[in-house]
Amino acid sequence: MNPRRFRRLQEVLGRRQPDLTVLMERVNKPHNFSAILRNCDAVGVLEAHAVLPEKAAEDNFDLHHHVSGGTAKWLQVAVHETVEEAVTVLHGQSLTVLAAHPSPRARDYREVDYTRPVALMVGAELDGISGEGLALADEAVFIPMAGMVRSLNVSVATALLLFEAYRQRSRAGFYDAPRLHPQRYRRILFEWAHPDLARHLREQGRPYPPLSPEGEPLLGE
């Protein structure tokens, strides 16, 4: 393990936000799916959530393949069968679900507090969030538009929302120190630094050894 790379891994993991995430409801264009995940990584999202398109199998929607730009190494994606299941999981994590949809009850996205635990729900490119998703969401937000076009590309809209969250959380000091539980931090750091060894140890049912300050596994410990 290169010490410089190990320090980089520590720095990135130390900025991950366990209470900021995105729920993609049937986003069916792979390039948008991939772009949203890159946006998530850029602002420190730890884990994203997705309800895959209904015809995902028919359309050969390969989740791993479409997590491009190396994002698959650093960002987990939890896949759910239904939007109800996904929202139930998010509520179980004490997250407020914000639907990105210009409904009558929606608020300007810049007027929302993103320093609280938040999950941003975004929908498919043509139809947006489903009626069921809107009903399950706690709140709704919209992006003001000055032109004739009524909506942005879903990955662009998600980027705006995420970077507003990043702005607010940066100002509040959320990126100044690790926010993960120490045990979880150590586990993820080991998996990032030594993915092959981590997989081998999991298959054998063995715990991860501690890491040296330079990032080397202390196998004798």
CATH of the domain at 90: 3.40.1280.10
Compute the average pLDDT of residues 92-96: 98
Gap between the Cα atoms of 120 and 123, Å rounded: 10
Place of tokens 């509520």: 91
Gap between the Cα atoms of 127 and 103, Å rounded: 13
Number of domains in the chain: 2
Assign 202 a pLDDT band (cuts: 50, 70, 90). very high
Residue 58, pLDDT score: 42
pLDDT at 71 over 90: no
Q: Please give the share of the chain, as a percent, with pLDDT higher than 90.
A: 78
Residue 213 lies inside a defined structural domain of this protein? no
Asked if residue 43 lies in contact with residue 162, where contact means CB atoms within 8 angstroms, the answer is yes
Residue 177, pLDDT score: 96
Q: Which helix (H) or strand (E) holds 190?
A: helix 182-193
Half-sphere exposure of 101 (CA within 13 A, CB side): 28
**H/E/C letters for each residue in 15-81?**
CCECCEEEEEECCCCHHHHHHHHHHHHHCCECEEEEECCCCCCCCCCCHHHHCCCCHHHCCEEEEEC
The answer on 38 and 115 residing in a single domain is: yes
In three-state secondary structure terms, 139 is: strand
Tens of pLDDT along 20-29? 999 999 998 8
Assign 67 a pLDDT band (cuts: 50, 70, 90). low
Residue 56, pLDDT score: 58
The answer on 197 and 166 residing in a single domain is: no
Residue 219, pLDDT score: 80
pLDDT at 213 over 70: yes
The answer on 142 and 57 residing in a single domain is: yes
The burial class, CB within 10 Å (0-12 / 13-18 / 19+), for 200 is exposed
Half-sphere exposure of 28 (CA within 13 A, CB side): 14
Compute the average pLDDT of residues 193-216: 95
The answer on 11 and 25 residing in a single domain is: no
Tens of pLDDT along 113-150? 999 999 999 998 777 899 999 999 999 999 998 887 77
Residue 220 lies inside a defined structural domain of this protein? no
Assign 73 a pLDDT band (cuts: 50, 70, 90). confident
Q: For residue 44, give its domain range.
A: 18-171
- Token couple for 202: 């999991």
Residue 41 lies inside a defined structural domain of this protein? yes
Q: Please give the share of the chain, as a percent, with pLDDT higher than 70.
A: 92
